[in-house]
Amino acid sequence: MSTLAVAVTKRAPVATPSPKHGAAALTATRRAVTYIEDRVRDYPEGPVTLDELAAHCGLSPWHLQRQFKRLMGVTPRQYDEALRLKRLQAGLKTGTGGVAGATFDAGFGSSSRVYERADSALGMTPASYARGGRGARITYGISDCPLGKIMVAATARGLCRVILGDNSEDLIADLEAEFPAAIELRRDDATVAVYIKELMRRMAGELPHAALPLDIQATAFQRRVWAELNQIPRGNTRSYGEIAAAIGQPGAARAVGQACGSNPVALAIPCHRALRNDGNLGGYAWGIERKQTLISSESRLENRKKKISEKKA
């Protein structure tokens, strides 16, 4: 059993509200419990914040935290995490999507404390990429999409390649060229289905549900650029120069463009939001037409959202 699975199975059960407390306190706490449970089940994009929960229950964050802990024996955050760990445990038992897929589906993301406790020997380490993926076991899937075809490849740790193209044969050839020394390249559409579903949402311009776990090699500079790309709001773009300035290297616009071009995971890292300094689209590894379509889809949805907000105001 993996370290991650052991951590889940050792988790203590969560208490239920005690009836000896006041009716108002019980009602508010039950509202909070129901809200957390619904969020974890239907929209697992990350932990429910205390401010969000307090607004839903009509209490101050301090009062809700104190009342919840008194009745439940745990804080709202601990209750939320317990439910996500239970969801993670179920995902691990089914085996669909591997550890990384189950972690993402439970709403933890690649940076969570739970994922970091996973067995360090799991999947492919970044160093293996420098050797053509030596020692890696990679599962991939291919699906039709509005931009042609999408291939998603992943190790047990997370996504290692996302490619857009016109036909399956070229996508498979690209993957084989990227990881010539991998122990295994195996197609299993069901295993990576959770990733494909999320990437298709992003392709349509929707906001991400959660951070996708990644297993990619990058220099320190590339990681800074890619992290900054993820900070660009949906429906917006930034020039290479603006991105360079944002990471504290205003003279590195050209290097930023190269970092965008080397992005191995289309959509998971939104390099399509980066433009040349003159405002032109610049390059895109998967075709300028696809880049324009992605930018237009995001802009259209963001404008629609603004109009709805204005009508409600």
Distance CA 78, CA 13 (A): 11
**Half-sphere exposure at residue 21, Cβ-oriented, CA atoms within 13 angstroms:** 16
| Domain 126-203 listed as CATH 3.30.160.70 | yes
Q: Can you give the pTM of this predicted structure?
A: 0.60
Kindly report, residue by residue over 19-38, the tens digit of the pLDDT.
545 677 788 888 899 988 88
Would you tell me how many other CB atoms lie within 10 Å of the CB of residue 55? 13
Q: How far is CA 155 from the centre of its chain?
A: 15
| Range 220-312: architecture per CATH | Orthogonal Bundle (1.10)
Residue 215, exposed/middle/buried by CB under 10 A (0-12, 13-18, 19+)?
A: buried
CA-based R_g, the chain, Å: 22
Kindly report, residue by residue over 96-115, the tens digit of the pLDDT.
555 566 666 666 654 344 44
Distance CA 285, CA 263 (A): 9
Kindly report, residue by residue over 122-134, the tens digit of the pLDDT.
334 444 544 566 6
What pLDDT was estimated at residue 168? 95
Given pLDDT bands bounded at 50, 70 and 90, which one contains residue 95? low
What pLDDT was estimated at residue 46? 64
Segments making up each domain of the chain, as ranges: 3-116, 126-203, 220-312
Quickly name the fold that domain 3-116 has.
Arc Repressor Mutant, subunit A (1.10.10)
- Among 1-15, 91-105, 138-152, 265-279, the minimum mean pLDDT is found in 1-15
Q: Which residues are catalytic?
A: 271
What pLDDT was estimated at residue 187? 96
One fold for 3-116 and 126-203: no
Of residues 178 and 42, more confidently modeled: 178
Does 44 score more than 90 pLDDT?
Answer: no
What pLDDT was estimated at residue 196? 94
Strands (E), the chain: 137-145, 148-154, 159-165, 184-187, 238-239, 274-275
